[in-house]
Amino acid sequence: MTTTIIIGGVAGGMSTATRLRRNDEDMEIIVLEASGNVSFANCGLPYYVGNVITDRDALLLQTPEALKDRFNLDVRVNTRAVSIDRDNQTITTEQGETLKYDTLVLSPGANPIQLPIDGIEHALTLRNVEDVDRIVAATEGAKSAAVIGGGFIGLELAENFTHRGIKTTVIERGPEIMAPLDSEMSAIVRKHLEANGVTVLLNADTTRIDTNSITLSDGRTIDSDITIAAVGVAPANELAVMAGLEVGERGGIVVDDEQRTSDPKIFALGDAAEKRDGIDGTDTLVPLAQTANRHGRMVADIIAGRDTKRTGTLGTSIVGLFGLSAASVGWNERRARQKGHNLRLIHLHPADHAGYYPGASTVHLKLVVNADTDEILGAQGVGQAGVDKRIDVIATAMRAGLKATDLADLELSYAPQFSSAKDPVNMAGFINDNMIRGEKTVQYYEIEEKLAQGFELIDVRETSEYAAGAIPGSRNIPLNTLRDHIDELRGKKIIVHCQTGVRSHTATSLLRNNEIDVSNLDGGYVTWAAVQ
């Protein structure tokens, strides 16, 4: 009988264990979990803090006993592996027990990054059920909270503290929250958080944490009966490093396309392991449950002798905050620029479903395209409904290698409750197609410079819309009267814009057909206004 030992009993580890048993009835399968629970709903933990999930047991998806009955697994909680002896193929636990393996799977997850600041011991982190119990206990009687870090977990906690009536401040070190999004997209999320009572401080550096307050580098103090440190996670690579396994620059355990570490008897997966970027194949870290689960299944199949390999990771992710969702896949503009690509950028703001059917809301969508190859490099979406769908569709298109132009031809289900006859994803494809055919666009951050260079900015919205708020330096010529102004625009360099870019596309076509040098402001007033 062979033995597989799996270190870590949550997403990746437990997927490996159960699949391995389905593959092989006879193998001895031992799962060691350092915390007191296995298979817990780690993505649900913030919602238990906010009483959105009211039943603590709902977080505990499996018990060691049930896993023994159903899968004949030997699952040991509160059991931390402290060393690996690769020569003898054994691991040793904190309790001093030594266990022999034929195959070892490392799925220990990631650790919250520790801030090197005074009073950090007053800050709580969120990783497992014990952590959430501590946070819930701390909310009793708390009036204020500070969340250091404007990423997914920090923002989810901020929402849930607010649900409990706790006045919450998010402290973000960077210029904007939600790093996976570009700033004009995450600004929409930030304003929504603020509208729901969360204070968000940008470019803010915490220097000291006390019991009931935190202090920033500029001297401000923020009331904080509970302080959360959620500035990101780092691969839990301690065991791997000690055992001499290869570890990457950013700490991820190096694995090949079969998730094998530098020791062929040891696999690694989940947040602790490096991933292969789905776009350019470089090494990357993507701490997502979906990938961990998928790789768990795959590692179990490889251990069982099957020939299978990982695909690259696109890092598709989503967060829901006060009814708004924000999702992304692939690279954002910032990253795509770092990689040195020529980009086609597309912002659009269509309704999630037909405007004539009640309840429509705006889907803010951004597409990042390689201008030389038409490859879709990434997409971002923000809105109250239908964002998950559009990002999933684009993620599928990216995985399949569809080009941006192909988005125009996707046949997506349409009835007025669900979409428009031209779905937002189709619209993104149409805009891309227009650009390939020569329609020039400018980005919101280029406006000031263009105006300084003598471009004229024409706002083709209705007079009433213009009066309600306009871009400084713009001139209002409503679209339906634009034909009357052709002659006076000849010879000038024109930028047109409307609310979202749809009417200004018609204006752009009209002026181009009259041989006027014209660009469309991508995303229109809405994108420009998002960052004001």
Task: List binders of a copy of itself among 369-398 (CB under 8 A).
Answer: 388-389, 391-393, 395-397
Query: Which residues from 302-321 bind a copy of itself, rule CB under 8 A?
Result: 306, 311, 313-320
Query: Which residues from 441-460 bind a copy of itself, rule CB under 8 A?
Result: none
Q: CA 456, CA 55: separation in Å to the nearest integer?
A: 60
Query: Which alpha helices (DSSP H) does 168-318 contain, by range?
Result: 183-195, 238-242, 289-303
Indicate if the alpha-carbon torsion angle 35, 41, 47, 53 is positive or negative: negative
**Could you tell me if 202 and 179 are in contact, meaning their C-beta atoms sit under 8 angstroms apart?**
no
Minimum distance of a copy of itself from residue 162's CB (angstroms): 16
Question: What is the Cα 341 distance to its own chain's centre?
Answer: 22
Task: By CB under 8 A, name the one of 376, 402, 428, 470 that touches a copy of itself.
Answer: 402
Cα–Cα distances in Å, from 85 out to 93, 98, 241?
12, 10, 12
Binding string, residues 182-201; x marks residues near a copy of itself by CB under 8 A: --------------------
Closest to a copy of itself by CB, 22 vs 191, is 22
Query: Which residues from 85-124 bind a copy of itself, rule CB under 8 A?
Result: none
Q: Which member of 43, 61, 354, 529 is catalytic?
A: 43
**Which residues, at least 6 apart from 60, have a Cβ–Cβ distance to it below 8 Å?**
37, 39, 40, 41, 129
Q: CA 355, CA 345: separation in Å to the nearest integer?
A: 25
Closest to a copy of itself by CB, 135 vs 266, is 135
Binding string, residues 21-60; x marks residues near a copy of itself by CB under 8 A: xxxxxx--------------x-xx--x----xx----xx-
Query: Which residues from 60-79 bind a copy of itself, rule CB under 8 A?
Result: 61, 66, 69-72
**Could you tell me if 193 and 152 are in contact, meaning their C-beta atoms sit under 8 angstroms apart?**
no
Query: Which residues from 334-373 bind a copy of itself, rule CB under 8 A?
Result: 354, 356-358
Task: By CB under 8 A, name the one of 399, 446, 529, 531 that touches a copy of itself.
Answer: 399
Query: Which residues from 255-294 bind a copy of itself, rule CB under 8 A?
Result: 278, 288-294
CA dihedral 351, 506, 458, 516 (to 10 degrees): 150
Length of the chain: 532
Query: Which alpha helices (DSSP H) does 273-343 contain, by range?
Result: 289-303, 333-338
Q: CA 324, CA 392: separation in Å to the nearest integer?
A: 17
Q: Which two tokens stand for residue 7?
A: 């270190």
Query: Which residues from 480-509 bind a copy of itself, rule CB under 8 A?
Result: 480-481, 483, 505-506, 509
Q: Quick one: which of 415, 445, 411, 432 has its CA closest to 532?
A: 445
Minimum distance of a copy of itself from residue 44's CB (angstroms): 5
Closest to a copy of itself by CB, 10 vs 343, is 10
Residues touching a copy of itself, count (CB under 8 A)? 90
Scanning 17-25, 90-98, 245-253, 489-497 for contacts with a copy of itself by CB under 8 A, the matching segment is: 17-25
**Which residues, at least 6 apart from 141, have a Cβ–Cβ distance to it below 8 Å?**
225
Closest to a copy of itself by CB, 39 vs 227, is 39
Query: Which residues from 128-167 bind a copy of itself, rule CB under 8 A?
Result: 152
43 is catalytic: yes
Positions annotated as catalytic residues are 43
